[in-house]
Structure 1
Amino acid sequence: MAAARMIFWGAFWAFLLDQASKYLVIHWMGLSRRLSIDVLPPLLNFRYGENTGINFGLFGDGTESARWILIALSLAICLALVLWIGRGRDKGALMQVSAGLVIGGALGNVADRLLYGYVLDFLNMSCCGLNNPYVFNLADVFIFAGAAGLILFEGRIKKPA
């Protein structure tokens, strides 16, 4: 039961922060109208993006069937993570929170696909003379951080002799 609680709270906060950031930047700050807001150039800029695919726009043909396939795939991954982490007695709190971050981020992008038909992206970061043309959102950050945590913290719990 404690595992489910850790996964839930990780997912809850990731989802909430993702959706709140999208509302704040895209709707409240008007990025959808302005298309571009320089925050701390070139390190941090807001650039409006509509992603019908996965990372970097891959598989983004924009068809309705692709949209529903990506929604189903995201939900299947969320369910698989809950089952994998929830059943494992040797999964520590960091693994549980990491799974929650992946789930919350995935559900944030699913919510976008259901509401808009695409994922809202707005973060753009460049550095050191390199101009990054891609945009992403906090859900992507949570998915990446959670996946890294699942890899890094796997097997960290010591099993009794």
Structure 2
Amino acid sequence: MRLTFWTGFWIFLVDQLSKFYVLYQINLPNLPNQTYEVFPPFLTLRMAWNRGVNFGLFADFDMRWVLIAVALVISGFVIWWIKRENVGKWAYISAGLLVGGALGNVVDRVLHGAVADFLNMSCCGFTNPYAFNIADISIFAGAIGLVLFTDSNDKKKTA
């Protein structure tokens, strides 16, 4: 569990520091076109306030507190589940990635009413219209890791 805590802590910290830097040091929301070329065309900072879920789904509805509650319930469930299961270090790291990222986005929703998304990556003639952040990457990687590194088939094998 210590590995889950520290992974979540560092992900949360890096996510919040990156958002602070983009919002208040680069001042991305106030730049022309709200973009900042880092390594064009591969990496561009493009401001997007996500009030909905993935890819801005349900952004037209005021779901701020519902999404905060869902993120906290899922984080609590993942912590409870990972404590119960006999898993290896990669599952603990995956749980930390998911929880740290979820809590990073919760802080955004509480402070700003929306999640600050700003990373935009495009390549090879494909222009990506979406922006994301470090918390989003962590949540995705953590969810995939929990699927890959927790073996629910152990019980089926012994039955």
Scaled by the length of structure 1, the TM-score of the pair is 0.90
Q: Which residue of 2 aligns with 1:67?
A: 64
Of 87, 91, 94, 2:90 maps to 94
- Structure 1 residue ranges (4+ consecutive) displaced by more than 6 angstroms after TM superposition: none
Q: Which residue of 1 aligns with 2:54?
A: 55
Match of 2:129, as an amino acid? P
Q: Given that residues 26 and 122 in structure 1 are in contact (C-alpha distance below 8 angstroms), is that contact kept between their aligned partners in structure 2?
A: no
**Alignment partner of 1:152 is 2:148:** yes
Q: Which residue of 1 aligns with 2:17?
A: 20
Q: Which residue of 1 aligns with 2:76?
A: 79
Separation in structure 2 between the aligned mates of residue 86 and residue 42 of structure 1, nearest angstrom: 43
Deviations 1:25-79 (A, max 9, x none): 221111111111011111100001100011100121242xx11000000000000
Aligned residue for 1:136, secondary structure, equals coil
Identity of aligned residues (%): 51
Unaligned runs of 5+ in 1: none
Scaled by the length of structure 2, the TM-score of the pair is 0.91
Separation in structure 1 between the aligned mates of residue 61 and residue 19 of structure 2, nearest angstrom: 21
Q: Given that residues 46 and 124 in structure 1 are in contact (C-alpha distance below 8 angstroms), is that contact kept between their aligned partners in structure 2?
A: yes
Separation in structure 2 between the aligned mates of residue 10 and residue 33 of structure 1, nearest angstrom: 33
Alignment of 1:118-133 (within 5 A): 118-133=114-129
Match of 1:71, as an amino acid? I
Q: Which residue of 2 aligns with 1:41?
A: 40
Separation in structure 2 between the aligned mates of residue 109 and residue 132 of structure 1, nearest angstrom: 22
